[in-house]
Amino acid sequence: MTFAIRNIFLFGLMALALVFTGMYQSWPLALTIVNMALISAIMALGVNMQWGYAGIFNVGIMGFTAFGGLAAVLIAMPPVPDAWAAGGLGAIMGLMLGAATIFAAIIVYRKMAPGKLRGLSIALVIIVGYWITSMIYGPATHAISRVNPAVDGYLGGLGLPVILSWPLGGLMAAGLAFVVGKVALGLRSDYLAIATLGISEIVIAVLKFEVWLTRGVNNVSGIPRPVTRPVELQTREWVQALAERTGLSVSEMARVVELVSYAALFTIVLAILIWLAEKALNSPWGRMMRAIRDNEVAARAMGKDVTRRHLMIFILGSATCGLAGAMMVTLDGQLTPGSYEPLRFTFLIWVMVIVGGSGNNWGAVLGAFVIWFLWVQAEPAGRWFMDTITSGLGPDSDLRNHLMTQAAHTRLIMMGAALLLMLRFAPRGLIPER
Amino acid sequence: MDILNAIVVLSNFVLIPALAYGSQIALGALGITLIYSILRFAHFAHGDIMAFGTAFVILGTWGLQAMGVSFGPLPTALLALPLGIAVIILYLLLADRMVYRFYRKVKAKPMIFVMASLGVMFVTNGLTRLIMGPGERRFDDGERFVFSVREFREWSGLAEGLALRSSQVITVVVALIAMALLFWFLNRTKSGKSMRAYSDNEDLALLSGINPERVVIITWAIAGTLMVLAGTLYGLDKSYRPFTYFQLLLPFFAAAIVGGLGSPLGAIVGGYVIAFAEMGITYAWRRFFNHLLPDDWAPTTMLQIIPVDYKFAVTFAILVLVLIFRPTGIFRGKTL
Amino acid sequence: MSEHNLPPGDDVMLIGEAMTGGYGGGPDILHDCTIAVSKGEIAVIVGPNGAGKSTAMKAVFGMLSLRQGQVRLNGQDITALSPQARVRQGMGFVPQNNNIFPSMTVEENLEMGAFIRDDDYRATMDQVFTLFPILRDKRRQPAGELSGGQRQQVAVGRALMTRPSVLMLDAPTAGVSPIVMDELFDRIIEVARTGISILMVEQNARQALEIADKGYVLVQGRNRYTDTGQALLADPEVRKSFLGG
């Protein structure tokens, strides 16, 4: 029982830190941290499935998250009929032709005997396929991007409720993970790492440059929301009454209500995921996964299809990250391909998992909260720190001004230090694996 | 049909830039491969430490420029190289003392080393941005061109122009010198041979009286030197931005793996393979074929296989092909 | 039982006396085990699988911690020294597996053997080449590309580069053909003739005992029989239990 008490204590401390943030900084800030921490917790759960259950080293989390985020656009944005008329069919057909080309090449590879003839045939299939594909795909996507480029220039989405994008985001990431896993799993762990690093950069490149699909660096904004806007909330009587009773301004109260509704949605998703993950972990399946992780050779010798199991868990974990990606775009209300950077969307999640305790779902959640809280609060802390140590230099000092403008970057140093210290002195994390 | 013009246009847009870029990748991949074969882990902090070291070269360059020192037609940055190299070697040795040595002692799994290098990556990244900020910096000075497009046209009388930038020449020359010195060191000196011995068979190296800590120190020193060289040359040739340097991790690793992880020669070959493939596949070949083919055969499209935006996809595709068909790489590196 | 019936003489080069111990904190594998070799002699350790043959040799070389007993080289107590320090004191060791640097040339392998020497080692290398002429021909080839028997020659040659007074070989003929085995044993006799003591663990007990001046039969980490090689070969009990009749 001491274990459970310790964990409750740790989560309690975290809650206390958030409450203090609300009381002394602002409640919207505290709730913003909570919302992003909830999403990060889901991502950390996904990584924990891969690393903690199965020992798969995935450094392409950003790619799966961003790809899942695309689902929010595809589901919720209204379709752009002119763009569809201009080249919708061509773009879709181009994609299908591209897939067919790869598929055909694989079939040729499988069916033909090894030799020069096979190599030539594959090359021929790829060249012809590529040529046909680009003849259709190129003009179509170009036409789409020229349809009213200032606001549209892309196909838009299906105009459905944005919540539907969450499962779709998971599915899309799962599909991507299937392809990546088929190729790279079964290789050595550091090769997989490089492969996932590469795929995540490619996904970001696709989001940035396939303008017909994502508007690229022009961003898609104004994605419909699953909760009521603060502007509307302000007019509601109960919000006004609540504001009066708590002493917050009405606008602040409306923002708080909005954030709480998001938090409620996210908490439901997280709760379901944890429930599923815990159930899986303690099932025979979960025990098998951990057995494979701890001794792959023995597991193989016992007749377990290790590569297949790894593929499965790789897909599940990546799907979880994709789901989180769609949730994040929903929360932001916009898809900004230019804002994805690996340090924040891949490696910070890793810090969360390691600090929280790899192999333990609750650890991953706690890690996500602690690290995200520190990540946000480190910015003012870094500024304060720089202000203090350079205060002797006087306000005109170039060094002081430089350090003050770059002070936010101290949080990177903090995160690195947290990771290194945990790895060295508490490698099992805040809540160790049972 | 005009072969000469075709060759000139190809040299200007593909061959020469790829040669320079390939040299930069090769230097980075050499560091990756050396660290891998001696310390036996994938060094994820490589790109960021490269950015950190280059930051000191840039600071040194600015300092020298402020003092009125210049290197004639050559970039002042070359004079500041020793400063960057010294700082990075000290930094790497400090990181080794504070982070990696412990895991060596407890014989931790390679993945733990990789995690630790992620921590070092974060810290280094923060330090670099604290010093330089996240933005782009240029620090090249001296003569920009060995000869420019205009000069070449006047000299040759050809329709197509060819420019040779001094940064490209400097890159190739410095890289070749560094590679030659490295191979001399590894194959001809006692310390270099002891490094290869340690990489080949750690236990037997210990038995032969080779001091592993010394080997590790030498390895960091060489890798650090290569990092600063690669970073400075890349910055002179293109531009300096910490995030771009982080992204170079992918071509570095791809080159090292394609060549055969653990094989220095492989890292070099891999670097050029990646660079030429990236440049060749993202280049619009229309102009090249315009010169080669008769007028009525002239291509109507750009003949660009994929847009430049997807250069990572080229690197990635090569990597995947090698991993599937020849996982040990071209030069049969080790498979630990 | 003929335990300790050959008390170590005055010219004993290396002795591990009454050794008891095991790997790390594990259980004892050796129990009061004594192994000795005199100058220019060949001593062979044989015994069934799991008898602790290799362990006994590793104990002599300092690769596991002894709880009791001591190791003396040339009369000097070296029990507390690390394997590396023992190499400096004049012990050469050829492990059973991974005993060469595969990507380095034969010559470089020998150079690495001489790593701790600061003087000119070319004469020693010449001696090794005289002993193993095939290595001279292949000196520029990577050792990993050689045949099994040639690799063993490289391994022995590497260990000889420090000019050791004792050479220890862990199952040098494991996995090589009978012809190559005979050749290797011939070379080992030649090495012993130059005054170097040889201590060797062998699976091929009969052939090894034939060239042995002294043989140790170990069973479960204890000395079972100790005698000259010929005497052990002639002992019907030893033949029956350990040499397959």
**What CA–CA distance (Å, rounded) separates A365 from A43?**
9
Nearest chain B residue to A189 by CA distance is B111
Q: Decide: B and A in contact? Rule: 3+ Cβ pairs under 8 Å.
A: yes
The percentage of chain B sitting over the pLDDT mark of 70, rounded to a whole number, equals: 98
Question: pLDDT higher for A55 or B336?
Answer: A55
Q: What is the DSSP letter of A185?
A: B
Contact: B206, C84; criterion CB under 8 Å = yes
Query: Is C94 inside a domain boundary?
Result: no
Q: What 3-state class would DSSP assign to C113?
A: helix
Question: For C157, left (φ over 0), alpha (ψ -120 to 50), or beta?
Answer: alpha
The domain of C27 spans 1-84+206-245
Q: How far is B210 from chain C (nearest CA, A)?
A: 7
Separation in Å, CA of B208 to nearest CA in chain A: 30
Q: Residue A54: helix, strand or coil by DSSP?
A: helix
Separation between Cα atoms, residue B317 and residue A102, nearest integer Å: 13
For A:145-184, CB contacts with B below 8 A are 183-184
| Domains in chain C, number | 1
- Nearest chain B residue to C98, by CA: B201
Say whether B196 and C101 touch across the interface (CB within 8 A). Answer: yes
Spatial distance between the Cα atoms of B17 and B165, rounded to a whole number of angstroms: 9
The tens digit of pLDDT for each residue in B93-118 reads 999 999 999 999 999 998 899 999 99
Residue A350 has its nearest CB partner, among B102, B118, B335, at B118
User: Judged by CB atoms within 8 Å, which residues 4-63 of B form the interface with A?
Assistant: 41-42, 44
On whether the CB atoms of residues A319 and A180 are closer than 8 A, the answer is no
Distance (Å, whole) CA C210 – CA C44 = 10
Query: CA B251 to CA B230: how far, in whole Å?
Result: 13
| Residue A89 token pair | 């069919």
Q: Residue C7 maps to which CATH number?
A: 3.40.50.300
Residues of A in contact with B107 (CB under 8 A): none
Q: What is the third-level CATH fold of A2-79+156-425?
A: ABC transporter involved in vitamin B12 uptake, BtuC (1.10.3470)
User: Is C51 a domain residue?
Assistant: yes
State how far the alpha carbon of B76 is from the alpha carbons of A95, B51, B58, B82, B102, in Å: 50, 18, 9, 12, 39
Q: Which of residues 34-73 of A touch B (CB under 8 A)?
A: 55, 57, 59
Q: How many helices (H) and strands (E) does chain A have?
A: 21, 2
Asked if B122 lies within 8 A of A202 by C-beta distance, the reply is: no
Indicate the residue of C83, C103, C108 with minimum beta-carbon distance to B207: C83
| 3-class DSSP string for chain B | CCHHHHHHHHHHHHHHHHHHHHHHHHHHHHHHHHHHHHHCCCCCCHHHHHHHHHHHHHHHHHHHHHCCCCECCECCHHHHHHHHHHHHHHHHHHHHHHHHHHHHHCCCCHHHHHHHHHHHHHHHHHHHHHHHCCCCECCCCCCCEEECHHHHHHHHCCCCCCCEEHHHHHHHHHHHHHHHHHHHHHHHCHHHHHHHHHHHCHHHHHHCCCCHHHHHHHHHHHHHHHHHHHHHHHHHHCCECHHHHHHCHHHHHHHHHHHCCCCHHHHHHHHHHHHHHHHHHHCECHHHHHHHCCHHHCCCCCCECCCHHHHHHHHHHHHHHHHHHCCCCCCCCCCC
Half-sphere exposure of C26 (CA within 13 A, CB side): 7
In chain B, residues with a C-beta closer than 8 Å to the C-beta of A191 are 257, 323, 327
Q: What is the pLDDT of residues A68-93, one digit of tens each?
A: 999 999 999 999 999 999 988 999 99
Distance separating alpha carbons of residues A226 and A263, to the nearest angstrom: 12
Token pair recorded at residue B50? 């490269």
Spell out which residues of chain B touch residue A194, defining contact as CB-CB under 8 Å. 42, 250, 253-254, 257, 319
**C-beta atoms of B207 and C116 within 8 A:** no
CB B264 within 8 A of CB B255: no
Phi and psi at C73, nearest 5°, equal -115, 120
Q: Which residues of B touch A424 (CB under 8 A)?
A: 99, 102
**CA–CA dist B156, B162 (Å, integer):** 10
Query: d(Cα B269, Cα C192) in Å, to the nearest integer?
Result: 48
Cα–Cα distance, C20 to A170 (Å, whole number): 61
> Given A183, A201, A350, which is nearest B250 (Cβ)?
A201
* Domain residue ranges of chain A, discontinuous segments joined by +: 2-79+156-425, 80-148
Give the count of beta carbons closer than 10 Å to the beta carbon of residue B3. Answer: 9
Looking at residue A70, what is its pLDDT?
96
Q: Say whether pLDDT at A295 is over 50.
A: yes
Task: End-to-end CA distance of chain A: give it in Å, rounded.
Answer: 13
Nearest Cα of chain C lies from the Cα of B103 at a distance, in angstroms, of 19
Closest chain C C-alpha to B177 CA, distance in angstroms: 24
Q: Is the pLDDT of residue A387 over 90?
A: no
H-helix segments, C42-164: 53-60, 83-89, 106-113, 122-131, 133-137, 148-160
B187 to chain C, closest Cα gap in Å: 9
Report the pLDDT value the prediction gives residue C3, as an integer from 0 to 100.
44
Residue B300 near chain A (CB below 8 Å): no
Model confidence band, residue A234 (pLDDT cutoffs 50, 70, 90): confident
In this complex, do C115 and B207 lie within 8 Å of one another by their Cβ atoms?
no
Q: Smallest CA–CA separation between C10 and chain B, in Å? A: 29
Which chain A residues are closer than 8 Å to B104 by Cβ?
Answer: none
Q: How far is Cα C170 from Cα C193, in angstroms, rounded to an integer?
A: 20
| CB-based burial label for C180 (10 Å; 0-12, 13-18, 19+) | middle
Can you give the pLDDT at residue B43?
Answer: 95
Coil, strand or helix at C197: strand
How far apart are the CA of B330 and the nearest CA of chain C, in angstroms?
16
| Cβ contact C101:B199 at 8 Å | no
Nearest 5°: phi and psi at A280?
-65, -40
Contact B161, B94 (CB under 8 A): no
Interface contact flag, B193 C108, Cβ < 8 Å: yes
Classify residue B335: in a domain, yes or no: no
C104 part of a folded domain: no
Of B115, B316, B323, the CB nearest to A191: B323
Average pLDDT per run of 10 along chain C, which is 245 residues long? 48 90 86 93 91 91 90 92 92 93 95 93 94 94 92 95 94 88 92 93 90 93 91 90 76
A205–B310: do the CB atoms touch at under 8 Å? yes
ipTM above 0.85, yes or no: yes
Contact C158 B208 (CB under 8 A): yes
Adjacent-strand bridge partners of C121:
none
- All residues at 6 or more sequence positions from A422 whose CB lies less than 8 Å from its CB, including other chains: A354, A355, A429
Closest-CA residue to C95 (of C146, C145, C48, C57) = C57
What are φ and ψ of residue B264, in 5° steps?
-60, -45
Indicate the residue of A57, A347, A402 with minimum beta-carbon distance to B122: A347
Neighbours of chain C (3+ CB pairs under 8 A): B
Higher-pLDDT residue of A260, A3: A260
Note whether residue B61 is domain-resident.
yes
As a whole number of angstroms, the distance between CA A374 and CA A371 comes to 5
Domain total of chain B: 1
Chain B 161-220, residues with CB within 8 Å of chain A CB atoms: none
Residue B66: the pLDDT is: 93
For B15-66, give the DSSP string.
Answer: IHHHHHHHHHHHHHHHHHHHHHHHH-S--TTHHHHHHHHHHHHHHHHHHHHH
Taking an 8 Å cut-off on Cβ atoms, the answer to whether A410 and B315 are in contact is no
List pLDDT tens digits, range A347-366.
999 999 999 988 899 999 99
Secondary structure of B246-263 in HEC code, one letter for each residue = HHCHHHHHHHHHHHCCCC
Mean pLDDT calculated for residue range B131-155: 89
What residues of chain B lie within 8 A of the CB of C116, using their CB? 208-209
CA distance C36 to C41: 10
More confident residue, C22 or B119: B119
Taking the CA of residue C69 as centre, how many other CA atoms within 13 Å lie in the half-sphere pointing to its CB?
A: 25
Contacts of residue B169, Cβ cutoff 8 Å, sequence gap at least 6: B146
Q: What 8-state DSSP symbol labels residue A391?
A: G
- Yes or no, beta carbons of A417 and B42 under 8 Å apart: no
Q: Which of B123, B253, B307 is closest, CB to CB, to A417?
A: B123
Domain-embedded: residue C150: no
Question: Residue B319 and residue A194: Cβ atoms within 8 Å?
Answer: yes
CA gap B41, A430 in Å, rounded = 26
C-alpha pair distances (Å), A212 with each of A207, A215, A216:
10, 6, 8
The answer to whether chain A touches chain C by having 3 or more C-beta pairs less than 8 angstroms apart is no
Above 70 in pLDDT, residue B333?
Answer: no
Residue of chain B whose Cα is closest to the Cα of C155: B204
| Predicted confidence (pLDDT) per residue in B36-86, tens digit | 999 999 999 999 999 999 999 999 999 999 999 888 889 999 999 999 999
Residue C73 near residue C65, CB atoms below 8 Å:
no
The CATH number of the domain holding residue B83 is 1.10.3470
Phi/psi of residue C103, each to 5°?
-85, -5
Domain that holds residue B187: 3-325
Residue C26 lies in a domain: yes
Tens digit of pLDDT for each residue in B202-243? Answer: 999 999 999 999 999 999 999 999 999 999 999 999 999 999
Which chains pack against B, by 3+ Cβ pairs within 8 A? A, C
What is the tens place of the pLDDT at every residue in A201-218? 999 999 999 989 999 889
Torsions phi, psi of B107, nearest 5? 50, 55
